[in-house]
Amino acid sequence: MAKTIKNQVAQERRETVAYTVKNEKLKQWVHEVAELCEPKEIYWCDGSQEEYDRLMSQMVAHGAAIALKKRPNSFLFRSDPSDVARVEARTYISYPDKDEAGPTNNWIDPVSLKKTMLDLYKGCMKGRTMYVIPFSMAPLDSPMAKIGIEITDSPYVVCNMHIMTRVGPQVIEALGTDGEFIPCLHSVGAPLAEGQEDALWPCAPIEKKYISHFPEENLIWSYGSGYGGNALLGKKCLALRIASVIARREGWMAEHMLILRLISPEGKVYHICAAFPSACGKTNLAMILPTVPGWKAECLGDDIAWLKIGPDGRLYAINPESGFFGVAPGTSHDSNPAAMDTLEKNCIFTNCALTDDGDVWWEGHDDPAPEHAIDWKGRDWTPDNPEPAAHPNARFTAPAAQCPVISPDWEKPQGVPVDIFIFGGRRTRVQPLVVEAFDWDHGVFLGATAASETTAANIGAVGNLRRDPFAMKPFCGYNMADYFAHWFAMGDRLGDKKPRIFYVNWFRKNDEGKWLWPGFGDNSRVLKWMCERIEGKVGAEETPIGYMPRQDDLDLTGLDWPMERIAEALEVDIEAFKAEVPDMEQHFAQFGARLPERMKIQFEEYKKRLGL
Ligand code: GTP
Ligand code: SPV
Ligand code: MN
């Protein structure tokens, strides 16, 4: 009897699909999810402009989106104040064996996690449309491409996925009858009772949020949040956490890295991949306008790189995304002019302030604070308000193709050959401007010990120093000790074609709290030094922490900046480094016997160089 009723409900559910789906496994999964989540209808997305416009106008009509008068085809959303960033504390890597997730990930065993989440998913889409989003990470014609299907009850997620990934029937076509896809299930976790009015930003309370990964099944289940990496499942969940596991198995790499092309005055091309933690300068560096005379740059990606060894033995990088989900505060024509030009049209803004003339504003914008605005919580705001008008993790979603400095090769199916890896973080103290690794293994040690002050990109305290190895702490889908081993192994396979490794810190301050380095476009001066190190054209000094430029080794032509501050930015305080050894000790100890022997050797050599 119960079964009959269930079937009747299923039959009543409208399903809209404008193309033919031949993949039985996909159809079956979609219908199973519908049975579980009980949406009022199923809608298969086609990725068209018409679809985007239709969903946006529905959201405008409802009040969830505000069409910006000043920016063509651009919209502002305000999230629930509890749902403003990734939730690392509620993010799980679920293997039957806890050790597979490792000490840097949250873990619940798959059986109990699924049980908990199935209870939450039961009827969670009541009163809502269930959207099926077929998407590709990396261009479909790339050998690196991975197909995902995101099921979501959020039209905001659909529109963001349109920008961030490649959505449409061409993906379904590529799947054919039995192609592989990564199932990504997402719900905001806010079912609607009959006649209940929808919230402007529906979501579930923190203790009901789960961002779960089942790497052994290539499966992603996200519940309760509508924001960024919690909800746009192609990004951190698929392209980093799940992809890192696949990459290790298949011998490639999935990294939290920007991809940048630098061109010397002689026309020599260098490709740089840089891993900085969230909100620590990837988007800025990715779109750099070099100030160092004669050098040019092009952007290929600002957040994620997939890297694979090519037929010539070099390492090739491709950006799996098609948009930027960038931090708005601090973005200005001064700090990132290319990003500002990218944002002129066709963008989604989340948690920015709304000006009275119908534009967005945020702290650090070129325009001075407006006399009056509506803040990210929807309240009247004036400059004397002690709270910021935009949330510190307010974001823009922008099509990569609109970036004025996007590389003509950004969608090249095989990617671009990498010359340089950069690691780094945000450190007010101790860490100097730039260090070059002695060799690959030392570079892996630098990546593994990377430390950074926490930012508003995650819900939690801001400004706390933590180890964030390779900027992957929140994004590695398996035991980080095995990830270190994978880096060593990749180096062995690359032989003499290994990229050179550097470590940077743009964020060091003096005792008065002033930046020691100008940053932004002037970071090109540091990049130039790196390229010239490869060519053997420029000197360096050997220090216990690595090779470093002397002030004269950096091209400071035309730089208007107190030279004594640059000297300070390059200072190595050995005592300060010694004082951090116990913390490194602890950091490595958490991996126990799983820590690669080569890492232990690097650590021993490091301590010896420090005189310990
Ligand atoms: P996710 O998108 O969260 O992964 O972060 P991201 O690494 O792309 O961060 P983004 O480039 O948006 O960094 C934003 C913050 O870093 C802003 O506060 C910027 O002002 C600051 N920033 C970026 N580059 C520099 C720099 O060279 N110097 C200084 N002082 N700040 C910088
Ligand atoms: C990050 O936090 O590293 C981001 C933003 O790139 S999110 O997509 O929300 O993870
Ligand atoms: Mn990121």
Global confidence as pTM: 0.97
446 Cα: distance to centroid of ligand 3 (angstroms): 20
Distance CA 192, CA 50 (A): 27
- Residues 328-345 have a mean pLDDT of 98
**Residue-level pLDDT at 11:** 56
Alpha helices (H) along 239-369: 243-250, 282-286, 337-342
- Residues 406-434 have a mean pLDDT of 98
328 Cα: distance to centroid of ligand 1 (angstroms): 10
- Percent of the chain at pLDDT > 90 equals 98
**Residue-level pLDDT at 4:** 41
Q: Which ligand is nearest to the CA of 285?
A: 1
Distance CA 147, CA 141 (A): 12
Q: Each residue of 496-516: pLDDT tens digit?
A: 999 999 999 999 999 999 999
The pLDDT confidence band at residue 265, using thresholds 50, 70 and 90, is very high
Strand partners, 541: 548
pLDDT of 495 > 90? The answer is: yes
395 Cα: distance to centroid of ligand 1 (angstroms): 12
Strand partners, 273: 259, 421
**476 a catalytic residue:** no
The pLDDT confidence band at residue 3, using thresholds 50, 70 and 90, is very low
Q: Which of 203, 237, 273, 280 is catalytic?
A: 280
Asked if 189 and 204 count as a contact pair (C-beta separation under 8 A), the reply is: yes
Report the relative pairing of strands 395-399 and 348-350 from DSSP bridges. antiparallel
227 Cα: distance to centroid of ligand 2 (angstroms): 9
Q: Which residue minimizes the CA distance to atom 7 of ligand 2?
A: 229
554 Cα: distance to centroid of ligand 2 (angstroms): 32
Distance CA 241, CA 255 (A): 9
Q: Each residue of 551-576: pLDDT tens digit?
A: 999 999 999 999 999 999 999 999 99
Residue with tokens 């690959």: 440
CA distances from residue 470 to 65, 151, 447 in whole angstroms, order as listed: 36, 30, 5
279 Cα: distance to centroid of ligand 1 (angstroms): 5
Least confident range of 2-6, 157-161, 262-266:
2-6
**Residue-level pLDDT at 383:** 98
Q: Which of 165, 225, 278, 348 to mutate to test the pocket of ligand 2 (most atoms within 8 A of CB)?
A: 278
Q: Retrieve residue 65's tokens.
A: 């989106």
259 Cα: distance to centroid of ligand 2 (angstroms): 16
Q: Each residue of 269-285: pLDDT tens digit?
A: 999 999 999 999 999 99
Among the listed residues 367, 360, 348, the one whose alpha carbon sits nearest the alpha carbon of residue 389? 360
Q: Which residue minimizes the CA distance to atom 19 of ligand 1?
A: 330
Q: Each residue of 27-54: pLDDT tens digit?
A: 999 999 999 999 999 999 999 999 999 9
The pLDDT confidence band at residue 6, using thresholds 50, 70 and 90, is very low
Distance CA 513, CA 307 (A): 38
Fold for domain 324-402?
Phosphoenolpyruvate Carboxykinase; domain 2 (2.170.8)
Ligand 1: residues with CB < 6 A are 276, 278-284, 302-303, 326-327, 330, 335, 457, 506-507, 515, 519-520, 523
Q: Each residue of 192-244: pLDDT tens digit?
A: 999 999 999 999 999 999 999 999 999 999 999 999 999 999 999 999 999 99
Distance CA 222, CA 544 (A): 45
Largest CA distance in the chain: 83
For ligand 2, is residue 324 a contact (CB within 6 Å)? no
Does the domain formed by 254-319+410-609 have CATH 3.30.450.70? no
All structural domains of the chain with their residue ranges: 14-44+83-250, 254-319+410-609, 324-402
- Mean pLDDT of the residues in the chain: 97
553: burial class by Cβ within 10 Å (0-12, 13-18, 19+)?
middle
Residues 6+ apart with CB under 8 A from 317: 257, 259, 271, 273, 300, 301, 305, 306, 307, 415, 416, 417, 418
Distance CA 580, CA 49 (A): 53
For ligand 2, is residue 278 a contact (CB within 6 Å)? yes
Asked if 90 and 83 count as a contact pair (C-beta separation under 8 A), the reply is: no
* Domain boundaries 14-44+83-250, CATH class: alpha beta
Among the listed residues 495, 483, 503, 476, the one whose alpha carbon sits nearest the alpha carbon of residue 420? 503
For ligand 2, is residue 90 a contact (CB within 6 Å)? no
For ligand 2, is residue 473 a contact (CB within 6 Å)? no
Among the listed residues 339, 327, 354, the one whose alpha carbon sits nearest the alpha carbon of residue 399? 339
SS3 of residue 8 by DSSP: helix
**Residue-level pLDDT at 12:** 80
Q: Which atom belonging to ligand 2 lies closest to the Cα atom of 457?
A: 2
Q: Which residue minimizes the CA distance to atom 22 of ligand 1?
A: 281
Would the CATH topology of 14-44+83-250 be identical to that of 254-319+410-609? no
Q: Which residue minimizes the CA distance to atom 1 of ligand 2?
A: 278
Distance CA 424, CA 163 (A): 28
Asked if 196 and 175 count as a contact pair (C-beta separation under 8 A), the reply is: no
What angle is formed at CA 540 by the lines to CA 535 and CA 544, rounded to 5 degrees? 130
**Residue-level pLDDT at 1:** 35
Which helix (H) or strand (E) segment holds residue 129: the answer is strand 129-137
Residue with tokens 């004082």: 579
Q: Which atom belonging to ligand 1 lies closest to the Cα atom of 330?
A: 20
**Residue-level pLDDT at 500:** 98
For ligand 2, is residue 235 a contact (CB within 6 Å)? yes
Q: Which residue minimizes the CA distance to atom 18 of ligand 1?
A: 330
